[in-house]
Amino acid sequence: MKILTITTSPYTNQTAGTSGLRRKTKIFLQKNYLENYMQAIFNTVNIKNKTLVIGGDGRFYNLHALKIIVSMGIANGAKKIYIAKNGYLSTPAASIFIRKYQIDYGVILSASHNPAGLQGDFGIKLNESNGAPVHINITNQITEHTKSIKEYLILDNLNLDVSKLNTFKVLNTSIEVFNGVIDYVAKMQEIFDFSSIKNLIATKKLQFFFNALHGITGIYAYEIFHKCFNVPMENLFNIIPQEDFGGLIADPNPTTVADFIKLVKQQPHIDLGFACDADGDRNMVFSHKYCLEPSDSIALMLEHASLVNYYKNVVGVARSKPTSYALDIVAKALGIPCYIVPTGWKFFANLLDAHKITLCGEESFGTGSYHSREKDGIWAVLYWLHILAKSNNNFDDILESYWHKYGRVFFARYDIEKIAPSVAESILQQLAINAKAKLQHTVLHNYTLTNCQQFAYHDSLTGEVINNQGLMLSFNHNAEVFIRLSGTSTEGSTIRCYVSKYSNNKEDFSIDKFQYLEKLVDTIFSLMPEVIKYTFRV
């Protein structure tokens, strides 16, 4: 076996976004595109004599990419490479594995909730030894290396079968094909009371449907829900990972899984529905009556943390800026610090490492905790099952009594998609100008703009200041809007508009959130009239 040095030339579009490098699959299929990016990573982090774990969400091109990356890892002198069997490893399971075995780096092959397949998206995420996505400085250095790359190293003709557990050596690198489920399940058993959850299901106090949307969580759902809790197989949907996610959009939110929500509502014996995204870090929870807002989910996890032994000492919590301030309200009532960070899970990781927080969450259907340095979909489902097993109330009662106690923060996100990047930038610049002109004036429908400023994050641990993370607009009537560009879109730019309004009037609580927020949404869009031309997604 020979190590080859291959001459290459740089691509100009290898700047990573909110979470790794995410591009159309066809872009990744271009000659040396993947190889260039991986060599830029290896030039930045130098994996000589280091350990690496690799796996992903099972999407199209994963196995091919895995073989290239392992061949390059060997050629770049890695000491040991752990490969998840079949390449199957969820993002949170990768984080837990890295932490448990003190691995230097993790490569996760996933474009998260983005569609898969030749017409879909592909992505690479790099995690470091704390299990979290690498720090922004490393991402920037990788980008710099991509701009000047001239050659990459690769082992010629690696014979690799990842369908069976195995250990072997290639040149100076040990290879271990491991089961990507075992350590994850052990961690969940350490955190949650599996026998109480099993009992809850056995006594038929709670029955649920789970949908893996043909992403990676099916392999974990089978092991935990079916094998540990005896949930019937017919309650578990789309649990076999497929390269194209069976044509489904593996992105759990009320719009994309509308058919699944309808199905659950047609089953009187089913109390709850759960779904996770392709790489297993997002979750969605719903009953016949309510879809749980992620901003409420993290607030409720804090409210009921005392029911989970592992979380009996919550030191602090955090949310991303666009996430509603429901969490702040509960944290304040409990006397617990609440941190507010920019979008991107890496910002929570610093606080988790410094023991400043125990639980964290964000509006994009992600919740997580100290147990990992990634958000965790199956963990969130288990957290809810554990709460329900330990409490005397059902899901709807828990949600309603929380609103009665603290008030409800109505929240919705509007995505304006496929905008030319320069146009998106100019819409946001114009919005800032329009908003400044309207400051302290009524904009529309009795909404007066009381404050308007860019969100800058002051990292209390490192002293770093990260500017321009989005525009914050405050209105009277307890209303807030936050606007920023997405860092994960692969087709043009996406403007995300996050709208929230608080009420402590219980007559309001059962109102549909879109109806409740309608006039506020009109108000904000009146400040950026150009967006009317584009497709909206909620």
Residues that bind ligand G16 (CB under 6 A): 18-19, 112-113, 281-282, 343-345, 362, 364, 366, 486-488, 496
SS in 3 state form for 346-367? HHHHHHHHCCCCCEEEECCCEE
Per the CB < 8 A criterion, the answer to whether 525 and 532 are in contact is: yes
* 132 or 521: CB nearest ligand G16: 132
How many angstroms separate the CA atoms of 302 and 325, rounded? Answer: 13
Question: Torsions phi, psi of 476, nearest 5?
Answer: -70, -175
CB of residue 452 to ligand G16, shortest distance in Å: 21
Number of Cβ within a 10 Å radius of residue 150: 11
* 303 or 374: CB nearest ligand G16: 374
* 24 or 519: CB nearest ligand G16: 24
Q: Which of 95, 112, 287, 486 is catalytic?
A: 112
* 109 or 308: CB nearest ligand G16: 109
Question: Torsions phi, psi of 305, nearest 5?
Answer: -60, -30
CB of residue 487 to ligand G16, shortest distance in Å: 3
Question: Coil, strand or helix: which one is 246?
Answer: helix
* 35 or 374: CB nearest ligand G16: 374
CB of residue 163 to ligand G16, shortest distance in Å: 27
CB of residue 496 to ligand G16, shortest distance in Å: 6
CB of residue 381 to ligand G16, shortest distance in Å: 16
How many angstroms separate the CA atoms of 66 and 69, rounded? Answer: 5
* 246 or 487: CB nearest ligand G16: 487
Let me know if 440 is exposed, middle or buried by CB neighbors in 10 A (0-12, 13-18, 19+).
Answer: exposed
CB of residue 527 to ligand G16, shortest distance in Å: 21
Let me know if 381 is exposed, middle or buried by CB neighbors in 10 A (0-12, 13-18, 19+).
Answer: buried
Task: Look up 287 and say whether it is catalytic.
Answer: no
Residues 6+ apart with CB under 8 A from 459: 347, 350, 465, 466
Question: Torsions phi, psi of 120, nearest 5?
Answer: -95, -145
Per the CB < 8 A criterion, the answer to whether 408 and 510 are in contact is: no
Give catalytic residue positions.
112
